[in-house]
Each structure stands twice: as C-alpha cells, then as structure tokens.
Amino acid sequence: DAKTTQPPSMDCAEGRAANLPCNHSTISGNEYVYWYRQIHSQGPQYIIHGLKNNETNEMASLIITEDRKSSTLILPHATLRDTAVYYCIVRSNSGGYQKVTFGIGTKLQVIP
Amino acid sequence: KAGVTQTPRYLIKTRGQQVTLSCSPISGHRSVSWYQQTPGQGLQFLFEYFSETQRNKGNFPGRFSGRQFSNSRSEMNVSTLELGDSALYLCASSPWQATNEKLFFGSGTQLSVL
C-alpha cells in the first residue's frame, strides 16, 4: 500500500481558503486518494475522493497532480467548525481485500 | 438510514480482563473494519471482515480478535488487557470491498484500562 505524508499541523484564517497538501509518491494506478476529517473524539468523516481527475463537492475540492504523486484538499472558505484533523489516505484492494492505511493527519486550526 | 453504531461508548476495565466491543454497520453494508486510535500512534488498522470472514489483519498481537455475524454486525475482543490497550476503537462499514467506496465510521468506543 502507498503511504502518505502530511504536515502535522496548519493554521488558516477564518473565511480564507485552507489548502492541505498530501504526498503519496508511491501510489499505484488503481489506488484512490481519499480525504477524511476527524473532530475531537468522533469518528472520521468522509470528505472527498478521486483517482486522477480533480473533484469538487459541497464540502471541498480535491486537486491531484498529473503524476498522481501528490494532492491538495481545498476548503474554499474555512470556518471554525472546520477545525479538525484531516487524513489523506490511499485505498487499495490487495488480493481482493480491503486495506486502509491512515497516517497521522494534519491538525488544521481555523483562527477567528 | 441509521449510521454506524458502536457500543458501549465508554468502557473502563482493569489489566488482565477481557473486553468485547460491538459494531452495527449501516444497513446493507457488508464490510466492517476496525481501527485503534491512540495519541501516540494515530489511527491504526486492526482487521476487516466481509461476509463473516476476516479478509485482512493489521500488525496487532493475537490478543486482538474479531468476528462478523450473518447480519454483518461485528464484534472485536481484546483478551488479557494491558495498559497500552487504552484507546479509542473505531469501526467503519462500507457496502462492498471496492477501491472506490467510502468508509462510514462510528463514533467509537473509548476504552480505558486501569
């Protein structure tokens, strides 16, 4: 499974865009990039995922580089409720079975 | 649809005891995976079940075990508890095992071992 690398923490001013980077340089062709976030003491919440094209939904945008070795999660107008730990993971089916590897994530602090 | 339900929400045990945690997936979901989360180690994969069979297992000792029932509900068991087993245990469900499926997590069971 590909491993991901994220900065341990980031700050973002409220109302500004939060850009969270993720490196997954060993990703293979059939692996998707997923982003989740976890607010303290709750289970992770799905945000967005993609394979190679940029994706957008009501929560965020996902930009994947052409070589797929890195991606960026964009929260267009960060609010205080976006303060959370953000996980970038890659998902594969190894031998038909599901394997998920989470890193330590990025702790995003949105500042008023 | 109801979300993933984990019971109990909090649990306090002493060293040497055993514990069983329960996870009810979203209706129709057949895959259940378990994770241990500690401040020092982050979120670590324990194991994944699909159709009552363990399909994958993380790097945890044999004291950690699980099972899945025919209705897809899952339990995990930890025997001979150690202080280091204190953690938030999360389960997640998904409809199938496909790569492009998102995981739905429960709120977790906070286990404290004294």
Quick: pLDDT tens for A53-69.
899 999 999 999 999 99
CB contact under 8 A, A46 and B102: yes
Using only the alpha carbons of chain B, give its radius of gyration.
Answer: 13
- Which amino acid, one-letter code, is at B50? F
Average pLDDT score over residue span A62-90: 96
What value, to the nearest 5°, has the Cα angle with vertex A84 and ends A81 and A86?
Answer: 130
Residue B91, min C-alpha distance to chain A (Å): 8
Chain B residues inside the 8 Å CB shell of A37: none
CB contact under 8 A, A41 and B110: yes
Mean confidence (pLDDT) of chain B: 92
Confidence (pLDDT) at A1:
57
Q: Residue A43's closest CA among B10, B66, B6?
A: B6
Confidence (pLDDT) at A42:
87
Distance CA B71, CA A101 (A): 26
Distance CA B8, CA A50 (A): 34
- Express each pLDDT in B74-92 by its tens digit: 999 999 999 999 999 999 9
Q: How many CB contacts within 8 angstroms connect chain A with chain B? A: 72
Mean confidence (pLDDT) of chain A: 90
Select from A59, A98, A99, A106 the residue whose CB has the most chain B CBs within 10 Å, as the one to mutate to test that interface.
A98
Which CA distances in Å does B24 have to A39, A46, B28, B54?
A: 21, 18, 11, 16
Distance CA A105, CA B12 (A): 28
